[in-house]
A and B are shown apart, each in its own frame.
Chain A
Amino acid sequence: MKIMDILVRDAVILDVASTTKNGVLEEMARALASAVPSIEPDRLVEVLVEREALQSTGIGEGVAIPHGKLPGLDGLVAGFARCRDGLDFDSIDGQPTELFFLLVVPEHAGGRQHLKALARISRFCRNAEFRKKLSEAVDLEGILSAIADEDGKF
């Protein structure tokens, strides 16, 4: 699975306007929902907020992978957002979160696809060079090419 195959271009946000956790979730959910008609934005926000309540998806190194399941989706879809100054996402390591990968999985899909996408994004994000490229990208093209480069490696 390539991240570029599931990443919805219109759901890539270079710099979020929000400065709060729920604000970012909402901004990302709305961007994804406008690009993917089968996603009902309010429902997605609700699902993401519920998931965060179980445990933050801010998993350290300034990275968060908010995710959730929705009915009526044909396949897994992803979005991306950046918050340059970082914000409080209740991350596991207590550090501000700067890079957000949103993953939405069809409700009836097995866990395997979800696990593979999580694994691939995590593998990318372990690489400090990759995180730096995303942090320093000046435009959407910069974000997309950083992800495409990493996708090409394995």
Chain B
Amino acid sequence: MSEENIVERSFTVRAELGLHARPAGQFVSLASRFTSEVMVGRGEEWVSGCSILSILSLAAEHGSTLKIKAEGDDAERAVSELGSLLEAAPGDV
């Protein structure tokens, strides 16, 4: 049952002002709904997908590429829903 399930894909940040406080908050609240562990990567750096401080520290501007990695039973759903959120241009300030 508990087979290793890791999903990783890249997405483009569409929010006009980048991943600032509010979209980062939306991302974290969505990420915490999954049982999978969610990580967000930019370049070489990986941070927890459940910490706004960590996500904000990536300074992901409009058009930048972020990787989302999830590990757990609902990894596929986590990556696809979180990816859609990034690409859906969540609310600007």
Q: Do A and B come from one complex?
A: yes
Q: A104: shortest Cβ distance to chain B, in Å?
A: 12
Q: A59: shortest Cβ distance to chain B, in Å?
A: 4
A118 and B20 contact, CB distance less than 8 A: yes
- B62 sits at the interface (CB 8 A): yes
- B22 sits at the interface (CB 8 A): yes
Bound Cα distance from A112 to B21, whole angstroms: 13
- B52 sits at the interface (CB 8 A): yes
Please give, as numbers and ranges, the residues of chain A lying within 8 Å of B25 by CB-CB distance.
55, 59, 92
Q: A134: shortest Cβ distance to chain B, in Å?
A: 14
Best-buried of A54, A59, A67, A115 by chain B (most CB within 10 Å): A115
Main secondary structure, interface of A, reads: helix
Interface residues of A in 46-76 (CB under 8 A from B): 51, 54-55, 57, 59-61, 63, 65, 67, 69
Q: Identify the stretch in B4-12, B53-61, B80-88 within 8 Å (CB) of chain A at 4 or more residues.
A: B53-61
- B30 sits at the interface (CB 8 A): no
B61 and A126 contact, CB distance less than 8 A: no
Bound Cα distance from A69 to B51, whole angstroms: 25
A111 and B16 contact, CB distance less than 8 A: yes
Please give, as numbers and ranges, the residues of chain A lying within 8 Å of B53 by CB-CB distance.
59-61, 63, 122, 125-126
Tell me which of A60, A63, A112 contacts B18 (CB under 8 A).
A112
Main secondary structure, interface of B, reads: loop
Interface size class of A (residues with CB under 8 A): 20 to 34
Which residue on chain B has the smallest CB distance to residue A69? B93
- A148 sits at the interface (CB 8 A): no
Tell me which of A55, A57, A112, A122 contacts B57 (CB under 8 A).
A122
- For B44-56 the 0/1 string (1 means CB < 8 A from A) is 0000000111101
- A123 sits at the interface (CB 8 A): yes
Please give, as numbers and ranges, the residues of chain B lying within 8 Å of A112 by CB-CB distance.
18, 61
Tell me which of A55, A69, A120 contacts B21 (CB under 8 A).
A55
